[in-house]
């Protein structure tokens, strides 16, 4: 099987991937599996940034102590809020 055959097969069955239950499952997976894992990695990274900020001065200290941790935490917070709004509760 070559790449063209695979590509054509995927294009023919793309509508199977955009059904409501598949979209809901994807959003749920992102919310329950990917986001917590990303937060865990981000916590370790921001802790390392905070540690390295002690050795920095000026804008580099601001970057490591404030800017990057706030950007990372804010991005994950916003992503969590958006995913929470998109999760469809099954009745």
pLDDT number for residue 89? 60
What global pTM score does this model have?
0.72
pLDDT top residue among 83 and 21: 83
Domain spans, the chain: 36-90
Q: Note the pLDDT tens digit of each residue in 57-75.
A: 999 999 999 999 999 999 9
Say whether pLDDT at 91 is over 70. no
Helix 68-86 and helix 35-53, axial crossing angle in degrees, nearest 10? 170
Q: What is the mean pLDDT of residues 74-80?
A: 97
Say whether pLDDT at 30 is over 70. yes
Distances in Å between the Cα of 33 and the Cα atoms of 28, 37, 39, 88, 90 are 8, 6, 10, 16, 18
What percentage of the chain exceeds 90 in pLDDT?
A: 59
The mean of the pLDDT values for the chain is 89
């Amino acid at each position: 099987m070559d790449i063209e055959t695979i590509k054509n097969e995927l294009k023919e069955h793309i509508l199977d991937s955009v059904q409501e239950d598949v979209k809901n499952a994807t959003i749920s997976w992102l919310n329950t599996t990917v986001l917590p894992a990303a937060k865990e990695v981000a916590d370790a990274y921001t802790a390392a940034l905070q540690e390295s900020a002690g050795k920095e001065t000026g804008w580099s200290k601001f970057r490591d102590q404030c800017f990057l941790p706030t950007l990372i935490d804010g991005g994950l917070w916003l992503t969590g809020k958006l995913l929470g709004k998109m999760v469809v509760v099954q009745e």
